[in-house]
Structure 1
Amino acid sequence: MDAKHPVQTTEKTLALIEQLIEGGPYGVTELSHELDMGKSAVHNHLTTLQSHGYVLKTDGEYQLGLKFLEIGGQIRKSMEFYEVAEPEVKALAAETGELANLLVEEQGMGVYLMRAKGDDAVDLDTYAGLRTNLHTTALGKVILANLPKSRVEAIIDHRGLETKTPKSVGTRDELFDALDDVRERGYAIDDGERLEGLRCLAAPVKASSGAVLGAISVSAPASRVSDEDLHGNLSERVLSAANVVELNINY
């Protein structure tokens, strides 16, 4: 059955899960109001999810269970890209003392696979599984720069170009100019485009075919990263880490 003919029961279950992701814990009445569903239907869906370990009930309120973490962990563990890149991301964090990240593209969004904190790293709002717009991050821009233009156009059409800060790319022309710069340098920079006061530098990881598998990056407060650092030692370190991952995956 394709997306043109969705299964209504599944749609309602997923709507409940999405609402629980957004907030909670929720009671049945509150969820019924938020989703415009009957209380009996909400209760039946929640009870089914609870019986399978996907939802927990405490004092009459429901929240997501750790079964979802188990699933995400198993999916990540099965990815060769993650398995090969994980030690390099950790080494990059230890070497720079900052926050190192690993991201892939899925359905036009960036998905963080992991992050590793160096001794001086700031604690950001990122976490494994977080989905973010590609055009607002160095990680995302370096992936977009290595995708066919038609694919980038399709992602823009689907996901838009929402701005997160005054420095965010907000138009197609700005984005394509930025992607040209990324291809020329070989790495991407996010200078306060997702979070003000934060600088990030990312490099792509490619398969032997040239297809981009994902991206690796380092993020740090702008006060600790000068332009000289950004285009010197930091870019060399991130590019080197990406190169090691490529070699280990391809050879």
Structure 2
Amino acid sequence: MPTDTPRKIATVKKTGRIIEALQKRGSAGITEIADDVGFSKSTVHGHLATLHEDGMVVKEGHKYRLSLRFLDIAESVKRTVAKHDIVREQVRELADATGEVVHFGAKEEGRVVYIEKSRGDSAVQTKSRIGGRMPMHSTGLGKAMLAELPAADVERIVAEHGLEQRTEHTITDVEELYAELEETAERGYSIDDEENIPGIRCIGMAVSVPETEVIGALSISGPSQRMTDERIEDELQPKLAQAANVIEVNSLYS
């Protein structure tokens, strides 16, 4: 009987698990990886040997690590989102100008994915990392993008991922989230008011190109005592808008 469910290849899924284990460990031997993923050592060895032959992993003694080919892959993926040298330049300039943590992220399968990050001189340490994924409803980046999406898309994302409570301030009520997104769309920027990390406030702004879906968002994050409403409106919002415009114009004509 025909089915709409695509056929899944178990071998490919196993390879993916092994790559993820190497990503987390940095470097590991066959036994360590086998213990992590729950496969036999012979299975792990076969996958690693194939990956090594294809240049995807490097063998150093009895340990394996991901090869630098993943850097090239990562850069290629970044370029599909926006003109990445411009994104990197604007993120760094924003961090230098504000002294805070600046991110650029994109939406993928209902999550925010960090694509670029820079820390200013006064920035607090955060655990965010390039390639890391976060919920959309609790982050400045995510709310900025959600506010630009059709209502049906927002409903689908909420239905699929829910509204995880990250802190005591996280919005976990659907109607409250919709009201927040409406306000975000009206003023042109989002606010993460300690909703993702306690003590951290964030302003986010969507980056869009005409006749396409929003391509990403920029955000500036810092301690709540520095990220006052007055500073956000008077200083940070204009800087964020200028950087977003530079990325949009360069993406449009690239």
Q: Deviations over 1:160-188 (max 9, x none)?
A: 32222222222322321221121121100
| Cα pair 2:194 2:200 within 8 Å, conserved | yes
The TM-score normalised by the length of structure 1 is 0.88
**Paired letter, 1:200:** C
Q: 2:170 aligns with which of 146, 150, 168?
A: 168
Give the Cα–Cα distance (whole angstroms) in 1 for the partners of residues 52 and 5 of structure 2: 27
Q: Match of 2:169, as an amino acid?
A: K
> Which of the numbers 97, 101, 104 marks the counterpart of 1:95?
97
Counterpart check, 1:5 vs 2:7:
yes
Alpha-carbon spacing, 1:168–1:62, altered in 2? closer, same or farther (3 Å): farther
* Runs ≥4 residues deviating over 4 A: none
CA contact (8 A) 2:81 2:106 kept: no
The secondary structure found in structure 2 opposite 1:62 is strand
Displacement, 1:241?
2.0
Residue 239 of structure 1: aligned partner: 241
- Aligned pair 1:220/2:222, yes or no? yes
Aligned CA distance change for structure 1 residues 38 and 106 (closer, same or farther; 3 Å): same
TM-superposition CA deviations, 1:200-251 (whole Å, max 9, x none): 1011111122631111111112222222112322122212222232233336
> CA offset at residue 121 of structure 1?
2.0
Looking at structure 2, the residues matched to 78 and 187 of structure 1 have their Cα atoms a distance apart, in angstroms, of 24
Deviates more, 1:61-70 or 1:175-184: 61-70
1:25/1:63 contact within 8 Å kept: yes
2:142 matched to which residue of 1? 140
Q: Distance in 1 between matches of 2:81 and 2:152?
A: 26
- The worse-fitting range, judged by mean Cα deviation, of 144-153 and 229-238 is 229-238
Q: Secondary structure at the match of 2:39?
A: coil
Q: RMSD of the alignment, in Å?
A: 2.3
State yes or no: 1:108 paired with 2:110. yes
For residue 32 of structure 1, report the CA deviation from its aligned partner: 2.8
Deviates more, 1:29-38 or 1:149-158: 29-38
Closer/same/farther in 2, CA of residues 10 and 79 from structure 1, 3 Å limit: same
Q: Percent identity?
A: 37
Give the alignment's TM-score, normalised by structure 2: 0.87
Counterparts in 2 of 1:125 and 1:148: CA distance versus 1, 3 Å: same
- Matched to 1:15, the amino acid is R
- Which residue matches 1:14? 16
**Closer, same or farther: CA 154–95 of 1 in aligned 2, 3 Å:** same
The CA distance in 2 between the partners of 1:75 and 1:24, in whole Å, is 21
Q: How does 1:26-175 map to 2 (within 5 A)?
A: 26-58=28-60, 60-77=62-79, 79-175=81-177
Look up the equivalent residue of 1:205 and give its one-letter code: V
